[in-house]
């Protein structure tokens, strides 16, 4: 493991028809995948169970403990079954929307029962992921009389977005409940909740996870609604991480605001010590092309420079023609971008910008010391992963070795920027921990004899929230 070749930004790959075989998962892992995403908007429990088994088999085969992210589908509103293969709408054309899976005559069905109750005249209605825009003029007998603002082609089951409308459907649907129970029973490491609007949407998911006698996955809130952006400060303390889901977010908010929203969400999550994922259309052209566009390469690099922990591929790996090449491309862009990464600027941020507690103060001190002494790496013992994440938020230029005695924590640290998870026995001796850090750094090419390592730990060891020690050690020659 070459210190200069360690990629700090993590990569998440969505599995699907193009990538769910054991052979392909192994290839993705070797190309740089840290976490595999299972999209529960598609596929049966049996299908996902086979995928989980393949991920675990690939982990054993490659020696890379791949994290598993369960992405719950949420209450996605879609068009129903159209009477013709496609409908072409032109600007100014009147359109009638009705509820249900099918509709009569020229009406267009929408699969949301409360459609007429949750919108009002003047509401903007976006179809086909924002490509077609309607304006609601009036409601008659539960049917929406609209006029086309931006025309386009509609086909069955395309997405429907109702920006700024206060929808009564819960973010955590009955299907999500069954899917989460399946995920908990099968030991997923992360659970992402779609279409979060505020804290109330998160409470039933947190309760279900807390009741679980099996897995205790990290809860991630997907930021894809304007209400979630406005409620971000209330959402952050309730979750373990954030996903900037730019697909629906880019539809429901003005596209010119999306880059600024992305930057602000990433900054807020990082400062809170919560891993943040940037997702959707990272390398969309690579679904059917072996190379990305220049704009995609720049977008990916900018997300890294914004401070994202992880980058996520969706269709590129799930259904694309070049899944391995897409991961390799992300890996190359990330490594090149990280060479220009300004770690010092994060240490210059005011202390008031960060959540304040003992661990936060110790983590900042450790990073500052590592920077001043030119340490080759930081090392920490962490039972839950919290201390490693606290260090990670300062984005130090050197790797962070996250020593843990917990297998679940090991996999969860796959999502945190700059952290190299390492599974060790539960030693109670700080000296043993320091010698383990020396040996790990030397054996993995992170440092050589005479190089310094900054070690943080709590005494007693392996007690959550007890970080109170920062020690400087020097790698010996044997």
Q: Would you name the residues annotated as active-site residues? A: 37, 78, 222, 280
Distance CA 27, CA 369 (A): 39
Residue 229 near residue 223 (C-beta atoms within 8 A):
yes
Angle, alpha carbons 359-360-361 (nearest 5°):
90
Residue 383's alpha-carbon distances to 231, 253, 402, 407, 444, in angstroms, are: 30, 39, 10, 10, 22
The number of C-alpha atoms within 13 Å of 354 and in the hemisphere containing its C-beta is: 25
The crossing angle, in degrees rounded to 10, of helices 174-185 and 199-211 is 40
Distance CA 456, CA 468 (A): 8
Residue 319, both tokens: 């259904």
Residue 124's alpha-carbon distances to 132, 133, 161, 252, 400, in angstroms, are: 10, 7, 9, 10, 47
Residue 17, both tokens: 């028809």
Residue 451, both tokens: 């190089």
Name which of 93, 96, 144, 151 is nearest 120 in CA terms. Answer: 144
CB atoms under 10 Å from CB of 71, counted, come to 27
Residue 403 near residue 433 (C-beta atoms within 8 A):
yes
Strand partners, 404: 423
Residue 437's alpha-carbon distances to 169, 376, 453, 456, in angstroms, are: 50, 11, 8, 11
Residue 419 near residue 7 (C-beta atoms within 8 A):
no
Residue 246's alpha-carbon distances to 136, 171, 191, 255, 270, in angstroms, are: 25, 17, 18, 10, 18
């Amino acid at each position: 493991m070459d210190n200069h070749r360690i990629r700090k930004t993590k990569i998440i790959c969505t599995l699907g028809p193009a990538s769910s075989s054991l052979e392909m998962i192994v290839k993705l892992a070797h190309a740089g995948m840290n976490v595999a995403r299972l999209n529960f908007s598609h596929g049966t429990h049996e299908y996902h169970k086979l995928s989980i088994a393949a991920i675990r088999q690939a982990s054993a085969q490659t020696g890379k403990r791949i994290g598993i992210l369960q992405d719950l589908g949420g209450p996605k509103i879609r068009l129903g079954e159209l009477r013709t293969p496609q409908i072409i709408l032109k600007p100014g054309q009147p359109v009638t929307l009705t509820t249900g899976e099918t509709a009569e005559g020229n009406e267009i069905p929408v699969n949301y029962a409360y459609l007429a109750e949750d919108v009002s005249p003047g509401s903007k209605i976006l179809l086909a992921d924002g490509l077609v825009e309607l304006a609601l003029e009036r409601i008659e007998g539960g049917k929406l009389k609209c006029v086309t603002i931006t025309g386009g082609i509609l086909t069955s089951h395309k997405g429907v977005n109702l920006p700024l409308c206060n929808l009564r459907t819960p973010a955590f649907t009955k299907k999500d409940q069954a899917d989460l129970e399946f995920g908990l029973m099968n030991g997923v490491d992360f659970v992402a909740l779609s279409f979060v609007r505020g804290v109330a949407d998160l409470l039933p998911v947190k309760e279900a996870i807390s009741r679980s006698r099996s897995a205790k996955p990290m809860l991630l809130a997907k930021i894809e609604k304007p209400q979630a952006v406005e409620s971000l400060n209330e959402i952050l303390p309730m979750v373990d991480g954030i996903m900037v889901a730019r697909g629906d977010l880019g539809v429901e908010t003005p596209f010119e605001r999306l880059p600024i929203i992305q930057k602000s969400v990433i900054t807020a999550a990082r400062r809170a010590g919560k891993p943040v994922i940037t997702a959707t259309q990272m390398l969309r052209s690579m679904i059917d092309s072996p190379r990305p566009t220049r704009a995609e390469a720049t977008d990916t690099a900018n997300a890294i420079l914004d401070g994202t922990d992880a980058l996520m591929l969706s269709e590129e790996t799930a259904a694309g023609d070049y899944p391995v090449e897409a991961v390799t491309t992300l890996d190359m862009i990330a490594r090149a971008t990280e060479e220009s990464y300004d770690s010092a600027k994060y240490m210059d941020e005011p202390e008031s910008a960060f959540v304040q507690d003992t661990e936060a103060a110790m983590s900042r001190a450790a990073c500052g010391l590592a920077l001043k002494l030119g340490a080759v790496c930081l090392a920490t013992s962490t039972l839950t992963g919290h201390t490693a994440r606290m260090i990670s938020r300062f984005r130090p230029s050197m790797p962070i070795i996250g020593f843990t005695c917990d297998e679940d924590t090991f996999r969860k640290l796959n999502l945190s920027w700059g952290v190299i998870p390492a599974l060790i026995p539960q030693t109670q001796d700080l000296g043993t921990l320091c010698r383990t850090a020396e040996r790990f750094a030397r054996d993995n090419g992170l440092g050589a004899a005479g190089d310094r390592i900054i070690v943080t730990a709590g005494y007693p060891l392996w007690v959550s929230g007890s970080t109170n020690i920062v020690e400087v050690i020097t790698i010996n020659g044997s």
